[in-house]
Amino acid sequence: MEKIASPYLRVGIVWLAMVAIWLLLGTLRDLIWGTGHDGYSFGGHVASAILATVLAVPVIVVARRVLDGGSVAGLGLQLSLAAIPAFLIGALAFLVPSALGFAIVLGLGWAEATPLAPIGEIVLFIPVLAVLVFLYEALPEELAFRGYIQVNLEARLGYWGAIVAQAVLFALWGAALWTIAAGAIAVDRFVMFFFIALVLGMVRGTTGSVWASIGLHVAFQTVAQLMLNTERGHFGLEGADMVQLVALGVVPFSLAVLVVEVLKARDRTAAEVS
């Protein structure tokens, strides 16, 4: 198959593939575990996470090599030791300001979090959850949107145009999945996905690495799912709306790019000194 000249057509093919894959994942989860799109089972989570990476990543790799005639490394997913600091910078870009957000909402009494399981059990589950988030959301979504789609669009739309456009496509993707699954148009979901993707795109653009946006995505989803998934039973949360708005939303996503810039500067200084 010859390389497809139009980046818009290539992006459209990958976007539709991502929609189809996540619809398939939801359908398989319903048929096999019977949990529904809003339900939860650990077995379903594990299977969905593995399938998401197994199905989506090869599609993006093939699209990059066949449709683009390029390398996966050219998408910002270099398989080298440089991935580790990039991933950590992205994770800290969320965790540091999110901790500030939690200090605000808990300190001011806007929310209250009560552990429902032994602390040791919660601590041991965090790396398990992080791996599931990496496989189910962070790796395939970042490689597709902040990797393949953002790189292809930047050739035509420029740096900022590509960041905004991939954010729109990510929001449309999330809203489309929600609309199909729930049978209702979700404007609020579109807005939320857009601003999250906008920041992720800026982090990827600032660092030049998809690993940084993967790190932020893993940190965000791990904390959010740990605190908000009451069906899993790790935390009881009063004032969940304020936690979502402040500690998981406005504070970390407003400061994430600034934290990335600070950490990058420190990393460059340390490298120069050594």
Inter-residue contact 229 to 40 (CB < 8 Å):
yes
Within 8 A by CB and 6+ apart from 185, the residues are 175, 179
pLDDT tops 80 at residue 232: no
* Extents of the domains making up the chain: 7-273
pLDDT tops 90 at residue 62: yes
Q: What share of the chain is helix, strand, coil (3-state, %, to 5)?
A: 80, 5, 15
pLDDT tops 80 at residue 48: yes
pLDDT tops 90 at residue 64: yes
Averaged over 80-90, what is the pLDDT?
94
Averaged over 210-237, what is the pLDDT?
92
pLDDT tops 60 at residue 71: yes
Inter-residue contact 159 to 205 (CB < 8 Å):
yes
Inter-residue contact 52 to 136 (CB < 8 Å):
yes
Averaged over 265-274, what is the pLDDT?
60
Containing H/E element for 238? strand 235-238
What SS3 class is residue 195? helix
Residue with tokens 């601590």: 123
Containing H/E element for 151? helix 150-182
- For residue 186, what pLDDT is reported? 74
What SS3 class is residue 196? helix
When pLDDT is cut at 50, 70 and 90, the band that residue 271 belongs to is low
CA dihedral defined by 161, 164, 167, 173, rounded to 10 degrees? -70
- For residue 272, what pLDDT is reported? 52
What SS3 class is residue 206? helix
CA dihedral defined by 249, 252, 257, 262, rounded to 10 degrees? 180
Tens digits of residue pLDDT in 205-216: 999 999 999 999
188 vs 135, more confident: 135
Q: How far is CA 233 from the centre of its chain?
A: 23
Tens digits of residue pLDDT in 89-144: 999 999 999 999 999 999 999 999 999 999 999 999 999 999 999 999 999 999 99
Tens digits of residue pLDDT in 249-264: 999 999 999 999 999 8
pLDDT tops 60 at residue 273: no
pLDDT tops 70 at residue 269: no
Averaged over 149-170, what is the pLDDT?
96
Average pLDDT of the chain, as a whole number: 90
- For residue 31, what pLDDT is reported? 75
Closest by alpha carbon to 57, among 18, 93, 96? 18
Please list the residues that pair with 115 across neighbouring strands.
235
Q: How far is CA 15 from the centre of its chain?
A: 16
Inter-residue contact 134 to 223 (CB < 8 Å):
no
pTM: 0.93
